[in-house]
Structure 1
Amino acid sequence: MRNDARVVLGVVVTIAVATGCGASAPHEPATASGSLEQLAARADCTPVLSTDSAELRRANCTTKDGRYVLATFATDRGQREWINEAKDYGGVYLVGRKWVAVGEQPVVTALRGRLGGSVETGTMHSGH
């Protein structure tokens, strides 16, 4: 029985992986990765660079869904520090590995359909 159980478990895992069952819903794409230009292309945007440094590349994008800012980071830590600071000013953030897209809720929702990622919301504090 022990070997049969392993075979059945192996078949179930193989089917789950092949059909996309797991942590993400079937309608959610895998989280995109790549350079700013690769992410922009996947999001159907022609990026207009506003920052181009070794640590951070940031571009403005305008698509049929609206305007947003797309940023890529050299490190996970740099990305998290940037998000934590930016969230003080409010906004909706679509977060992937070493990239962030910032825009209004409907734009971020549309982008998530193309880029995957997770949504985080900033909090506007008084005085900003």
Structure 2
Amino acid sequence: MFQQRPHVRSTPRTPCRTRRRTAAAAGVLAVLVLVTACGGDDGRGAEATPSGSAAPAAGVVAPAKVEVIAGLTGCKVKIRTEADELREGVCHTRQGDYLITTFPQERLKETWLESARVYGGTYLVGMRWVVSAKPGVLEALRAKLGGTVRKLSGVGPRANAS
């Protein structure tokens, strides 16, 4: 009688989901650090104040895919985080550097923005995507992508306070 031996792994396997979550957490932390450095603040301390929702000339708002958004802005994107919860890519252009973050669900984008509120900054926000850059760069990108510019106030003492 033929018996089949059970298959035994020779090396332990780290679950892919755990690695993705670790990468996502590291990516979110890196984004928040970058946003703090690039966010800019005009001292008004506004709390999530949208500054209009200008659609681009074509009347279309960019879809939630990093490569497509980057293409619309004339950038060759470098993907730096790929996880279940978000994807993000970095763009370096003559008009400035910016970070494109996309989300598979709108609620994940809102959770990310709520976390970013602690650090403050200005963001261009669309359906399932966020672009992080200096305010002047965001206005130029808004003409191409649509979306709404949101200014989030930071928590704690201001760096420019006397």
TM-score range, shorter chain: 0.7 to 0.9
The more displaced of 25-34 and 81-90 is 25-34
Contact 1:49–1:60 (Cα < 8 Å) also in 2: yes
Structure 1 unaligned spans of 5+: 1-22
Contact 1:29–1:113 (Cα < 8 Å) also in 2: no
Corresponding residue for 2:107? 77
CA deviations 1:63-108 (Å, max 9, x no partner) are 1210111000010000000011112212111011110001110010
CA deviations 1:15-41 (Å, max 9, x no partner) are xxxxxxxx8678684311141101110
Contact 1:55–1:73 (Cα < 8 Å) also in 2: yes
- Tell me the SS of whatever aligns to 1:68: strand
Amino acid at match of 2:147: G
- The alignment-based identity, stated in percent, is 34
Root-mean-square deviation (Å): 2.2
Contact 2:56–2:144 (Cα < 8 Å) also in 1: no
Q: Distance in 1 between matches of 2:55 and 2:128?
A: 22
Q: Distance in 1 between matches of 2:82 and 2:70?
A: 15
Moved beyond 3 Å, runs of 4+:
23-29
- Tell me the SS of whatever aligns to 2:117: helix
Corresponding residue for 2:76? 46
Structure possessing the higher relative contact order (Cα contacts under 8 Å, 6 or more residues apart): 2
Amino acid at match of 1:109: E
Pairwise CA distance, 1:110: 0.7
Greater share of helix: 1
Corresponding residue for 1:90? 120
Pairwise CA distance, 1:55: 1.8
Pairwise CA distance, 1:54: 2.1
**TM-score normalized with structure 1 length:** 0.74
Q: Distance in 2 between matches of 1:61 and 1:26?
A: 20
Task: Say whether 1:57 aligns with 2:99.
Answer: no
Which structure's CA Rg is the greater one?
A: 2
Corresponding residue for 2:48? none
Q: Distance in 1 between matches of 2:65 and 2:56?
A: 25
